[in-house]
Amino acid sequence: MSAAVGIALTGSGAATPARVVTNDELSLWLDTSDAWIRSRTGIAERRIATVEDSLESLSSQAAQQALERAGWRPDQVDLILLATSSPDDLFGSAPAVQAALGANNAVAFDLTAACSGFLFALITAAQYIRSGTCQRVLVVGADLLSRWVDWQDRRTCVLFGDGAGAVAMEVAPEGWDGLLTMVMRTDGRRRSCLAMARQATSQVLHDQLQAGLGGFRPISMDGQEVYKFAVQQVPLVLTQALKQAGITAEQLDWLLLHQANERILASVAQRLGIPAAKVLSNLENYGNTSAATIPLMLHEAVMAQRIRSGHLIASSGFGAGLSWGAALLRWGRPDAP
Ligand code: UT7
């Protein structure tokens, strides 16, 4: 039997809307304060999409950067996976990204797993490479949850922001692997803790027939339940991923978690004995951008030359579903600085 094909993570990209909304601006219409939001979440400001912005455009910008940084031509891309819960088109926004890039040989489709979406998409993409089905894959995580929150509900709307991030993944040279281990979990029994559920409305077609009408309710969340779930389950999956790889927490270069709450980042790091200096965080500037948080943070850290080729990263996504997972990643490729 031939050895499994290795994975290399060779490019990243990110894009966010230009409009910055500070905590103080939120308190213009909400009974909230900068002090409350900062102390409970670590968030100072977020980017909010205006009517001119689109998920497809931000995703395409992020994907284009990842493609260029990986040094690929658009026609070399085999697959584009777009993790999102807020597509511009419910039939899928990935084809629009494919068209914008001119990646005409790629198959492109969406994957929905809320805040775990990017990590699940990365793990899914890896299977296509390992099986020999694809050579080059773009994995995009993007969400515009500002379009789906209730802007009068201070318990949820202050948490979220908009953005997109992308990673280029390709077949690795022999002896290299950028995805060491992975764990994925779902507990659908607790799906109502965090949901953007169908709005049950109907339309009368004639006196014997009422059809349903498409539509969704704004995001609802039991914040405390989700918080407890995250601080309990995320350390467990990360520990499992480390154990599977035979790696200790001390060997990690970075902890890259879904950016939901600074207190969750600190609690998980503490449970694993990872020093604060190794915990990546950009919550302060972007809030929770759902499927975009991990690639957005990754791209910033790569651009700042904090994450460098060969660095070992423990990553975990968690959120609605409930869904959660972890992966141990090695950034870059052997011939890169
Ligand atoms: O990406 C998916 C994953 N999502 C998460 O991981 C979110 C996890 N949950 C959390 O991060 C936290 O639970 C929150 C940040 C959402 C809330 O923090 P908390 O410390 O759990 O606050 P709380 O819900 O217990 O609320 C405490 C108080 C309440 O007032 P009373 O009942 O004690 O009088 C709330 O009404 O804070 C009040 N409150 C606010 N006050 C000012 C809630 N939201 C706000 C607000 N501004 N925005």
121-148 pLDDT, tens digit each = 999 999 999 999 999 999 999 999 999 9
Mean pLDDT of 285-292: 98
For ligand 1, is residue 27 a contact (CB within 6 Å)?
no
CATH 3.40.47.10 residue ranges of the chain are 7-171, 180-190+218-330
Q: Which amino acid is at 147?
A: R
What ranges in the chain are assigned the alpha helix state H?
A: 23-26, 34-41, 55-70, 94-101, 117-130, 154-157, 223-245, 262-272, 283-286, 293-303
Angstrom distance (rounded) from CA 86 to CA 59: 12
Looking at the predicted structure, is the pLDDT value of residue 168 above 70?
Answer: yes
> pLDDT digit string (tens) for 301-326?
999 999 999 999 999 999 999 999 99
Smallest CA separation from ligand 1 atom 2, residue = 319
What would the CATH number be for the domain defined by 180-190+218-330?
3.40.47.10
Task: Give, as one character, the DSSP assignment of residue 6.
Answer: P
Centre a 10 Å sphere on the Cβ of residue 277 and count the other Cβ atoms it contains: 7
Ligand 1 center to 56 CA (angstroms): 31
pLDDT grade, residue 118 (50/70/90)? very high
Structure tokens at 270: 């503490």
Whether residue 1 has pLDDT greater than 60? no
Q: Is the pTM of this model over 0.75?
A: yes
Distance CA 17, CA 19 (A): 6
Mean pLDDT of the chain: 97
Three-state DSSP string of 38-88? HHHHCCCEEECCCCCCCHHHHHHHHHHHHHHHHCCCHHHCCEEEEECCCCC
**Of the residues 190, 196, 227, 318, which should be mutated to test ligand 1's pocket, given the most ligand atoms within 8 Å of the CB?**
227
Give the model's confidence band at 3: pLDDT under 50 very low, under 70 low, under 90 confident, else very high: low
* Closest to 324 measured CA to CA, from 266, 241, 250, 248: 241
For the chain, percent of residues with pLDDT exceeding 70: 99
Give per-residue pLDDT as tens, 237-260.
999 999 999 999 999 999 999 999
Backbone φ, ψ for residue 20 (5° rounding) = -95, 135
pLDDT above 60 for 271:
yes
Provide the pLDDT for residue 56: 98
Confidence category of residue 334, pLDDT binned at 50, 70, 90:
confident
Greatest Cα pair distance in the chain: 70
Mean pLDDT, rounded, for 265-276: 98
Q: Using CA atoms, how far apart are residues 228 and 225, in angstroms rounded to an integer? A: 5
In the predicted model, what is the mean pLDDT of residues 70-92?
Answer: 98
Q: Once rounded to an integer, what is the mean pLDDT over residues 88-109?
A: 98
- What distance in Å separates the CA atoms of residue 169 and residue 118, rounded to the nearest whole number? 13
Evaluate: CB of 306 within 6 angstroms of ligand 1.
no
Atom of ligand 1 nearest to the CA of 154: 48
Ligand 1 atom closest to the CA of 293, numbered from 1:
1
| Other beta carbons within 10 Å of 144 | 27
User: Which one, of 11, 28, 313, lies nearest residue 138 by Cα?
Assistant: 11
Q: What is the pLDDT of residue 11?
A: 98
Q: Which CATH number fits domain 7-171: 3.40.47.10, 3.40.50.970, 3.40.228.10, 1.10.10.10?
A: 3.40.47.10
Residues annotated as catalytic are 115, 258, 288
Ligand 1 center from residue 155 Cα (angstroms): 5
| Whether the predicted pLDDT of 37 surpasses 70 | yes
Q: Could you give the CA distance from residue 4 to residue 29 in angstroms, rounded to a whole number?
A: 55
Q: Is residue 53's pLDDT more than 70? A: yes
- pLDDT of res. 335: 78
55-70 and 293-303 helices, crossing angle to 10°:
40
Predicted local confidence at residue 183, as pLDDT: 97
Tell me what pLDDT residue 337 has.
61
